[in-house]
Amino acid sequence: MENFCFYVVEKGVKRISILNSIKERRSIHTFKEREVDWNILKEIFTYGTYAPTHYMKESWKIKLYQRNGKTDFIDKIIASYQRIGMIKNDRTEKTLKMIESMKRFLLSIPHHAVIYYEKPEDPIRNEEEYASVCAFIQNAQLAAWEYGVGMLWTITPYMHDPGFLNELGLEHDKVKIAAVLQIGYPKKVPQDKGRTPIEEKMEVIE
């Protein structure tokens, strides 16, 4: 039996299959220049908050970078890559071209969302919070897809750079970045690559 949610459209009510959304969503790598309206972004992340959350902690927090805010954010990314040795810290033509290309690509993405949470000292509680924040991210991705908005869930080296967190105004010893989401309207939607049959991943013990 399919699960459905409903929303009102211009000439009636449209039925949406949650199961179809799960299968049809894609990770988006190229975006149109058009920004996503703030009210739509707010709706998307509001749906995200209905993720399972231990003790109703709702630990997820978001820093959303867009428009002029992207420039400083991207400069911090480049500085982090240089600090951790992924980009040479020199002024050669090759390095400068690489930096310029990276900046141009990142600036072309309409929105960057840093998703983070405060780490509990208890390692078990920390795992609970991290799992909950990841569920929040997936809920947001599915909600975004219904609005025609694409996301790319990125896990990048700069997320683990204490200097990068400090530059964002986050205490690196108290906070963990779970993901950086790239957000916008898809320029190209990848084809379905299929999935491994679940029978190959599941062991049944009777």
**Distance (Å) of CA 75 to CA 42, 61, 153:** 26, 22, 20
Chunked mean pLDDT (size 10), the chain, 206 residues: 43 63 96 98 98 96 98 98 95 95 98 98 97 98 97 97 98 97 97 96 97
Domains and CATH numbers, the chain: 26-64+111-189 (3.40.109.10)
How many Cβ atoms sit within 10 Å of the Cβ of residue 150?
26
Distance of CA 185 to the CA centre of its chain: 14
pTM of full prediction above 0.75: yes
Helix pair 38-48, 123-146: axis angle to 10 deg = 140
For residue 89, the 8-state DSSP code is S
26-41 b/e with 16+ CB inside 10 Å = b?
Answer: bebebbeeebbeeeeb
- From the list 34, 21, 109, 101, the residue with the least C-alpha distance to 73 is 109
**Percent helix, strand, coil in the chain (nearest 5)?**
45, 20, 35
| pLDDT score for 18 | 83
